[in-house]
Structure 1
């Protein structure tokens, strides 16, 4: 999915007010209260439910979706007496609605993305949504024009962060991200948000399933001056492309057109810094080296 500001300028969709965000926020609050009543730390709950500490924190804040498997384990860990398990059917129904919340112009690609075994992305504007921190995503949605209501901003932030659960799948899809150096230099949201986003890129970039590369600004040759692009491979081994410019999306399924995008992406990766060099550059930006 391309993550341009242009995409976020679409008008509010009726499905954004379908109530699913309220359900997840309510569940998060219940989990927090039950945990605190037992004087249990987030770290203890993470260990008991086989989840990451960041995931527990995000679910309690209502910005990540509690999965049915988590609710089942948490019900025992928090001695909830079936309260959390009782919400599992509602969560599954809400997830079904979430899979259909995309507008018509994007829905076909969204379905393919959810089932992809490989995703390749080149970005020249902002960090891809799959890698964004909560604060960075909120800054993106808050700054867009025309303005979004506070409720819609929070809904879209929650929806965006929920997509990061793809990194928890096993077997995991494989990912390749190439960003222009300018994307990583732009301090969207301010210094603290920018630093947090760079550290998030380091965390994701060190995952085995992720390769993160930077296209240096001083590169004298560039095979793609036409904007961001995405390529994904489905479980059926079909590769498709997706681009968007000024709010106009295009899904590529023609074999010749997809091959041309794939060739272009291969050249982009060849011109960019290696993954090791790219992570070292981000560390340097942070002053860690």
Structure 2
């Protein structure tokens, strides 16, 4: 990977100058929250966001949605301060874009347009589902090592992709995760538990079906790499997979059909969503 292909904005809008809007707004949000005597977790619970999402907004690497700003204004007693900036935020959002490494940009553009996305994960938690600390641990542990600036840029890009969960109308999501992935404590115990809580939060969304493939299954329809199936708005379904950062974007109808059929079998053999969330809760409780 060349230096030029790796270099990209730390925030979703740095390249076009609108990053300043998000940075200033993030500082105002943090100051107002602290004056209200709330930590990030407490505030997140009140507005329906996780602490990592609040942290990302306060640092300017995640765009606050208008509905979030209205709720925050009410909870923090901001007297209309956050509501007043909604027009500027909406304008900045129309200009904001996240750059990714050259090899990833084609898929990233399609993912941002997805009306449905289905993923099977075998080695780690999918980037769309990761907490900030989990993502940072993944990139920090990469070999050969990445420099600190690159790590932070990659974390910021990964968090910015998660805004797809806040789109309206919401895309349809399904995720199947191997149980072994959930048992691997990447980043340590605290990071691991926070990641499990994140999966519970996302898995309880009405437009999300999250399933776990138990390790004890005697039969398995896919012992190869994981893969993602998605349908971009107005386009046909495509598939994406990568191995050791070698990406493959698949648009051939027959290849996509085979993967879609395989994914259907994977879902049928996995725990159902209710059983899966129950298993994650038990893992979180240490039972």
- Which residue of structure 1 aligns with residue 136 of structure 2? 138
Shift of 1:106: 2.3
- Provide the TM-score with structure 1 as the length reference: 0.80
Alpha-carbon distance in structure 2 between the residues aligned to 1:239 and 1:65: 28
Structure 2, unaligned stretches of length 5 or more? Answer: none
Shift of 1:286: 1.6
Alpha-carbon distance in structure 2 between the residues aligned to 1:225 and 1:53: 35
Residues 187-198 of structure 1 correspond to what in structure 2 (within 5 A)? 187-198=185-196
1:91 aligns with 2:92: yes
Shift of 1:247: 1.6
Alpha-carbon distance in structure 2 between the residues aligned to 1:41 and 1:261: 46
Alpha-carbon distance in structure 1 between the residues aligned to 2:234 and 2:121: 26
Contact 2:134 2:192 in 1 (8 A): yes
Deviates more, 1:212-221 or 1:57-66: 57-66
- Which residue of structure 2 aligns with residue 15 of structure 1? 8
Contact 1:42 1:57 in 2 (8 A): no
Structure 1 counterpart of 2:48, from 23, 46, 52? 52
- Which residue of structure 2 aligns with residue 226 of structure 1? 224
Q: Deviations over 1:20-75 (max 9, x none)?
A: 297444431133235556x575799889xx95354545412434223467669979
Alpha-carbon distance in structure 2 between the residues aligned to 1:280 and 1:109: 32
Alpha-carbon distance in structure 1 between the residues aligned to 2:153 and 2:59: 12
- Which residue of structure 2 aligns with residue 3 of structure 1? none
- Number of matched residues? 275
Shift of 1:206: 1.2
1:249 aligns with 2:242: no
- The Cα RMSD (Å) is 3.3
Shift of 1:280: 1.5
Structure 1, unaligned stretches of length 5 or more? Answer: 1-8
- Provide the TM-score with structure 2 as the length reference: 0.81
1:171 is paired with a residue of what secondary structure? coil
Residues 114-263 of structure 1 correspond to what in structure 2 (within 5 A)? 114-236=112-234, 238-263=236-261
- Which residue of structure 2 aligns with residue 105 of structure 1? 103
